[in-house]
Structure 1
Amino acid sequence: MVSKLDLYKVFCIVGKANSFSKAAKELHMTQPAVSQAIMQLERELDTHLFKRTPRGVSFTNEGSLLFKYVHSAINLIDAGEEKILEFKNLTTGELNVGVGDTISRYFLLPYLEDFRNKYPNIKIKVLNGTTLELCSFLKSGEVDLAICNLPIDDSSIVQRPCLDIEDTFVYGEKYKKPFSKPVSLHELVKFPLIFLEPKSNSRKYVDEQLSLQGIKISPEFELGSHNLLLEFAKINLGVACVTKEFSLEYLNKGVLREVQLIEKIPKRSIGICYLKSVHLSHTSTKFVEIIDNKI
């Protein structure tokens, strides 16, 4: 069954060629098939669209009027198809990513750099926030995917772990003597503590693990930045709970030291998150592939 759109495409080609036979060659159809298509369209519209002459065909007044609209519409369809092809080839488009400041600095940046080098015409938009805020960004459609601290207690979100991370405690020169040997968590929490704010996913995870040991904490400082945790510990304001993998610069230089715990906090992950109900765009899928290929 020939669709109305196919009939209009035949109509446009005949109109531009002023000939059934020339249109048939361009469309790779037989001349009778082209003629039948025009006749079908004329029947459906109940009007004559072409005047037949010995030298070919020309528009009737109705046909000339219709051609202006149909030609414009088909050009728009062609332009739309070209845009879709550009999106598939990643020559245009947008990548919207949600991420926290610390994960952005210590994990995401190399992947963004690789993606930009491969697909320089893709516009990259990054929204920063806590894990809770990033989940809201996903649900509102502000970002296509997010790189979050896991686990997330939300069944509507797909969680794909990318990197295992370890929560640990670090200290400065002042606390060198009391931490010269391994200590238990119960001994550790007697010291001044520096933690992230309670709303952060990292803090919630550590609180839960400490609670399993029967430990409830009252930190001296509750901060909104992982870097501040490190800086506060550096000037001996207390013992900071940090992500080990994101603190290596301080640890490797000996600016801070790691507390040797008798019972360590179980590792967790950071990972890619996106809505179950929404298919990842072609652009987002390519970005995820870049991360998957490097981890």
Structure 2
Amino acid sequence: MDQQLAVFIAVAEKKNFSRAAEELHMTQPAVSQYIQAFEREVGTRLLERTNKYVKLNKAGEVVYDHAKEIIGLYTKMQRLVDDLTNKTSGPLAIGASYTFGEYILPHVIANMLEDHPLVTPTISIGNTRDIAELVSKHQMDVGIVEGDFQHDKLVIEPFAEDNMFIVAAPDHRLAKMKKVIPQDLEEERWIVREVGSGTRKAADNMFESLKISPEHLMEFGSIQLIKESVEAGLGISLLSQWAINKELSAGTLKKVQVDALPFTRKFSIVTSSPYRTKALDTFLEFVRKVSSEGA
């Protein structure tokens, strides 16, 4: 069954029998036989086939989603059994939201691999909602997310606090003011992340706490793009201290002086199972050091 699932997933993702066969180091007829046998076992056709493409039908979409989860659980089971006799090693699929993933995680991974070089991490960066969803479906071993996050299927462990500040270009009018009031902020153009991002959630919470409703919002999908845009004078933004340290030191961004800031949020570890590999436990030890060491 596990081989059938692997072949089905490859065909679904490659949308082509030949490319799937090449990836699996199989012949195309063998791939076709596996798919036919799998469809007989499931009891219905899962793929629409034409001369130009292969794609999932409605039943195929349901099976594909669950097949990915089953393979993820099976792989985790094998790694847990291997851990009983082996050293800390093996693959580790890590997901992280943008702030932690781009500005903190590389240092965590470097420190871990210095002591445990047999661990082979893969990293995916996305917004908080997407990372949590992948962890809940066992397609990632662990996620690091931002804000006051809740999820029925996940174990959530807050482990560090993040101070956030409003920033502007050095020549922006707000950057030159000794004290800024909420009304001043409300009139500005804000550059924010997309809905589902922890950074966007923090901005929305701050707006609510300051009792302001800015009318001019621009949504960008990257913290680096937001920083570049703020530096160019396009608007202001609420960003993590960790994300703006270099720019503050270089003087290319300035903090806006508001009494209510810094705005504080949490970073949390999310996992989907109480069973953890040695590689995952080791990674979590290094992540938790962030809280004691600070930025």
Taking structure 2 as the reference length, the TM-score comes to 0.65
Query: Cα deviations across residues 98-135 of structure 1 (Å, max 9, x unaligned)?
Result: 11333122111111112212222222121221110111
Out of 254, 257, 261, which is 2:254 matched to? 257
AA aligned to 1:285 is D
Q: CA deviation at 1:143?
A: 1.0
For residue 44 of structure 2, what is the aligned residue in structure 1? Answer: none
Query: Partner of 2:157 in structure 1?
Result: 160
- Residues 254 and 202 of structure 1: is their aligned pair in 2 closer, same or farther, counting only changes over 3 Å? same
Structure 2 CA distance for aligned equivalents of residues 290 and 112 of structure 1: 8
Measure, in 2, the Cα distance between the counterparts of 1:291 and 1:100: 14
Structure 2 counterpart of 1:288: 284
Question: In structure 2, which of residues 235, 246, 268 is the aligned counterpart of residue 271 of structure 1?
Answer: 268
Per-residue Cα deviation, 1:18-66 (whole angstroms, up to 9, x for no partner): xxxxxxxxxxxxxxxxxxxxxxxxxxxxxxxxxxxxxxxxxxxxxxxxx
Map of 1:129 onto structure 2? 126
> 1:105-116, aligned counterparts within 5 Å?
105-116=102-113
CA RMSD of aligned residues (A): 2.4
The equivalent residue for 1:247 is 244
- Report deviation, 1:244: 2.2
Corresponding residue number in structure 1 for 2:7: none
TM-aligned CA distance change 1:217 to 1:82, over 3 Å: closer
How many residues are treated as equivalent by the alignment? 213
Deviation at 1:93, TM superposition (A): 1.8
SS at match of 1:289: helix
Contact 1:195 1:219 in 2 (8 A): no
In the alignment, structure 1 segments of 5+ residues that lack a partner are 1-79
CA contact (8 A) 2:148 2:266 kept: yes
Q: What is the rounded CA distance, in whole Å, between the counterparts of 1:145 and 1:81 in structure 2?
A: 15
The residue identity in structure 1 corresponding to 2:285 is E
CA separation in 2, counterparts of 1:132 and 1:230? 22
- TM-score when scaled to structure 1? 0.65
Deviation at 1:86, TM superposition (A): 4.5
CA distance in 1, matches of 2:246, 2:179: 22
Q: Give the Cα–Cα distance (whole angstroms) in 2 for the partners of residues 82 and 142 of structure 1.
A: 19
Of structures 1 and 2, the larger Rg is shown by 1
Q: 1:185, 1:262 within 8 Å by CA — same for their partners in 2?
A: no
Question: Per the alignment, do residues 198 and 240 of structure 1 end up closer, same or farther by CA in structure 2, a change over 3 Å counting?
Answer: same
Identity of aligned residues (%): 20
The aligned amino acid for 2:147 is: L
| Uncovered stretches (5+) of structure 2, i.e. residues with no partner | 1-78
Residue aligning to 2:56: none
C-alpha distance in 1, partners of 2:234/2:80?
Answer: 61
Task: Name the CA distance, whole Å, in 2 between partners of 1:179 and 1:198.
Answer: 31
CA drift of 1:182 comes to 0.9
Change (3 A) 1:262 1:290: closer
CA distance in 1, matches of 2:210, 2:142: 35
One-letter identity of the residue aligned with 1:252: S
Matched, 1:138 2:135: yes
Q: Which runs of 4+ in 1 moved over 3 A?
A: 80-87, 176-179
Q: Give the deviation of 1:97 after TM superposition.
A: 0.8
Please give the alpha-carbon distance, in whole angstroms, between the structure 2 residues aligned to 1:212 and 1:177.
20
Distance 1:86 1:112, change over 3 A: farther
Q: Deviations over 1:3-28 (max 9, x none)?
A: xxxxxxxxxxxxxxxxxxxxxxxxxx
In 1, Cα distance between equivalents of 2:104 and 2:169: 25
2:200 to 199, 203, 207: 203
